[in-house]
Each structure stands twice: as structure tokens, then as C-alpha cells.
């Protein structure tokens, strides 16, 4: 008989509710989804998605946009492409 181990985590209630709805649509229980996540980590020998630390330029842009500095406003996709020179 397989041994069972319990995993406990603290998660924001709203996030938990949203994700559990998605699990239900996928036909998964939370336990099945966590097991799937763990198995993917084991198989890939790492997280099943990329996790990166932003470089200094990206970090600066994140901070500036958080305080709404140096934002460029566009009136739709055409205006955005024009401002980007595309």
C-alpha cells in the first residue's frame, strides 16, 4: 500500500476559489491537480513553466509603471503600432 503524505499551503481565498473552478472544468480535484504538478516537476526536474528574475531594465519599467511614470497612452491598436514605429 502506498504511503500518503499531506501537503498544507496558505492561499488567498479568492485565488483558491477561482482555481478550484478551473480544476472542476478540467475534471480534476485539488489533490489530483497538486499530484499532477508534483509529477511534472519530478519528470522535468524543475518547474513546468519558466520562472525568471527580471533584468534591471525590466525591473525599472515595472517600478515606473507601478507609479504611473513614463506611460504612453494609445487610442487603439493602430495608434500603438504608429507610436512603436511598426
- Which pLDDT does position 1 carry in this prediction? 59
pTM higher than the cut 0.85: no
Residues 41 and 48 sit within 8 Å (Cβ to Cβ)? yes
Locate the domains of the chain by residue range.
13-44, 52-86
Q: What is the pLDDT of residues 50-72, one digit of tens each?
A: 988 889 999 999 899 899 888 88
Q: Which among 62, 33, 35, 37 is positioned nearest to 48, based on CA atoms?
A: 37
Q: Who contacts 28 (Cβ-Cβ below 8 Å, separation ≥6)?
A: 36
Q: What is the pLDDT of residues 10-63, one digit of tens each?
A: 999 999 999 999 999 999 999 999 999 999 999 999 999 998 888 999 999 989
3-state secondary structure of 57: helix
Q: How many CA atoms lie within 13 A of 22 on its CB side?
A: 7
Amino acid at each position: 500500500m502506498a504511503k500518503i503524505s499531506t501537503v498544507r499551503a496558505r492561499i488567498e481565498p479568492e485565488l483558491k476559489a477561482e482555481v478550484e473552478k478551473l480544476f472542476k472544468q478540467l475534471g480534476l480535484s485539488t489533490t489530483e491537480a497538486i499530484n499532477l504538478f508534483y509529477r511534472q516537476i519530478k519528470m522535468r526536474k524543475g518547474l513546468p513553466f519558466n520562472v525568471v528574475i527580471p533584468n534591471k531594465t525590466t525591473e525599472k519599467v515595472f517600478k515606473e509603471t507601478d507609479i504611473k511614470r513614463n506611460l504612453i497612452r494609445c487610442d487603439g491598436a493602430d495608434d500603438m503600432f504608429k507610436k512603436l514605429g511598426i
